[in-house]
Chain A
């Protein structure tokens, strides 16, 4: 297995007024291609911050991050946006679907940034919805779907443009046990059958069991644990 994500000596400092707070301290981490990594840790330990750095939503204050050999900490805003469109899919705790659009149209949104034709966008989104088991809900608006269904639509949206990396911040945090298991099962399929590398922040040890490996973050420092 080759290394997909290479995090070297990364720190992140936020400024609160005049005060500077270092949220991540010299983090080092390698994530292999095809891995399914669970990231656990107490609230405020910096999990979301680390995830945002890996996903190219934010830039580190120090150190370097390479994804697939590309130094994303060196990319500027516009280039980083392009990089995200091609390489990462995001899944959030509260789904974050566009409320005015149908499930189908929500899944098509990332494809607007590709060169695909309208017909191809439609077809690819339909296939993605089929894969998450919601083909029959394609025309439903988010408010007409349950939390678990909305999260599955969000997952379809995250992988429809075929990124190598899926980044999930507490994807089951708002779901009941059964819906959570459906969502986790889906992530597992995407990891095993479709080779997606997944990094998932979770509070739930049961959720972490779906991952191949679990890491713990405490006060901005990684505490490595044995593989699950």
Chain B
């Protein structure tokens, strides 16, 4: 690419303008990289192999409604169910109500149905032995600088304790982690359901939802129907789904993340095209004379077209690459900021591929008009300043 230095020189002919333009491109691709990471993170939620064999059973009408604990034995008795655990929403906040910490009150066997969550045997025993104990995800522990044995005050938005205060206090007895930091438990806290049920007057032997594992994934649909049949025509009808389906449903309720990402990026890139397109047009207009001089030396119209296209593509690739590289830097802070909801913040190969393709495409798009104009420059007129 022997013309690269010519293109580079032309690009930085007006340093300030190019740097400002570059900054807006970097911002656009930074946003693209982050949103794409969020989108992928949501798409991957609950898609582990373990997730396929898990069924979630909640109240049919609303996930806020609770279910009787007595269902535990009945679900366990459904053919094909390996084990059943249950949990309640606790809704914790640490120190400040804005520091939301996902907290579940869980049955004693809760961790058994999530084999991907890693808890040392020692911590597990400590948790089993201490009714006031909690396990916290490694991400939370890192974020707040907790140590094993610390007393952790947690505020529930909903549930008061026996004194009528929503300020609870627990003892941190262990850590939950997962191989690649992917399990959502890495960013949450679990406490004993027994403790929760005994302490708050608001809950009397009720359960938020059940999580059961099946022995054969292929029978999951049939088992889900059997579980729901247990409560048919009762005042607590249930809806059982595989974990993926439940996650997908939940995300649908949150709105279509993919659509939001696409709309935002559409608006951002539209603005970017107008802005950089205008800059490129201006840049070529200013350089009419120089481009004409290149033509006198024998640069063909197509070469001049290529030089200008090369310039706009280089500008976009430069901004795009810096923006995407920055995502990895800034993205390192994102898992902690999102409380573990967003774990996948490195820019994956697919984001790079899409990003580079986008940059090239936008570069060609905004370069097309000025490049055509450059190609059509009439040497004699340009040299005479006409």
| A interface residue numbers (CB < 8 A to B) | 48, 52, 55, 57-58, 77-78, 81-86, 90, 92, 96, 98-101, 105, 109-110, 112-113, 118, 157
Provide the residues of chain B in CB contact with A118, threshold 8 Å. Answer: 2
Does B148 sit within 8 A of A, measured CB to CB? Answer: no
6 contacts between A and B (CB under 8 A): A57-B380, A58-B380, A78-B302, A100-B9, A100-B12, A100-B13
* Cα distance, A128 to B302, chains bound together (Å): 28
* Beyond known contacts A58-B379, A96-B290: 4 more, CB 8 A cutoff: A78-B300, A101-B9, A105-B9, A110-B298
Provide the residues of chain B in CB contact with A90, threshold 8 Å. Answer: 293, 296-297
Provide the residues of chain A in CB contact with B293, threshold 8 Å. Answer: 90, 92, 96, 98
Task: Select from chain A the residue with minimum beta-carbon distance to B292.
Answer: A96
Task: Select from chain A the residue with minimum beta-carbon distance to B293.
Answer: A96
Interface string of B6-34 (1 = CB under 8 A from A): 10011011000000000000000000000
* Cα distance, A146 to B289, chains bound together (Å): 20
* Cα distance, A92 to B58, chains bound together (Å): 83
Provide the residues of chain B in CB contact with A105, threshold 8 Å. Answer: 5, 9
Which 4 A-B residue pairings sit nearest by Cβ, starting from the closest?
A85-B298, A100-B9, A84-B298, A81-B300
Provide the residues of chain B in CB contact with A84, threshold 8 Å. Answer: 296-298
* Cα distance, A81 to B304, chains bound together (Å): 12
The B343-386 residues at the A interface (CB cut-off 8 A) are 379-380, 383-384
Provide the residues of chain A in CB contact with B300, threshold 8 Å. Answer: 77-78, 81-82
Do A81 and B2 contact each other (CB < 8 Å), given the known contacts A90-B296, A98-B290, A100-B10? no
Select which of A52, A83, A92 is within 8 A of B380 by beta carbon.
A52
- Count A/B pairs, Cβ under 8 Å: 67
Provide the residues of chain A in CB contact with B9, threshold 8 Å. Answer: 98, 100-101, 105
* Cα distance, A92 to B385, chains bound together (Å): 13
Q: Contact at A109–B295, with CB atoms within 8 Å? A: no
Does B301 sit within 8 A of A, measured CB to CB? Answer: yes
Least CB distance, B286 to chain A, in whole angstroms: 11
Interface residues of A: mostly helix, strand, loop or mixed?
A: helix
Least CB distance, A67 to chain B, in whole angstroms: 14
Interface residues of B: mostly helix, strand, loop or mixed?
A: helix
Does B146 sit within 8 A of A, measured CB to CB? Answer: no
Q: Contact at B294–A109, with CB atoms within 8 Å? A: yes
* Cα distance, A89 to B138, chains bound together (Å): 72
Does B299 sit within 8 A of A, measured CB to CB? Answer: yes
* Cα distance, A157 to B300, chains bound together (Å): 18
Select which of B6, B12, B302, B384 is within 8 A of A112 by beta carbon.
B6
Q: Contact at A57–B13, with CB atoms within 8 Å? A: no
Q: Contact at A57–B6, with CB atoms within 8 Å? A: no
Least CB distance, A112 to chain B, in whole angstroms: 6
Do A78 and B301 contact each other (CB < 8 Å), given the known contacts A58-B380, A98-B290, A112-B2? yes
Least CB distance, A139 to chain B, in whole angstroms: 14
Q: Contact at A92–B298, with CB atoms within 8 Å? A: no
Does B144 sit within 8 A of A, measured CB to CB? Answer: no
Q: Contact at A77–B301, with CB atoms within 8 Å? A: yes
Q: Contact at A81–B290, with CB atoms within 8 Å? A: no
* Cα distance, A78 to B81, chains bound together (Å): 77
Q: Contact at A85–B380, with CB atoms within 8 Å? A: no
* Cα distance, A189 to B158, chains bound together (Å): 96
Q: Contact at A81–B380, with CB atoms within 8 Å? A: no
Provide the residues of chain A in CB contact with B5, threshold 8 Å. Answer: 101, 105
The B142-193 residues at the A interface (CB cut-off 8 A) are none
The B107-143 residues at the A interface (CB cut-off 8 A) are none
The B260-300 residues at the A interface (CB cut-off 8 A) are 289-290, 293-300
Q: Contact at B297–A110, with CB atoms within 8 Å? A: yes
Most chain A beta-carbon neighbours within 10 Å: one of B3, B299, B301: B299
Provide the residues of chain A in CB contact with B298, threshold 8 Å. Answer: 81-86, 110, 113
Task: Select from chain A the residue with minimum beta-carbon distance to B8.
Answer: A100
Q: Contact at B384–A48, with CB atoms within 8 Å? A: yes
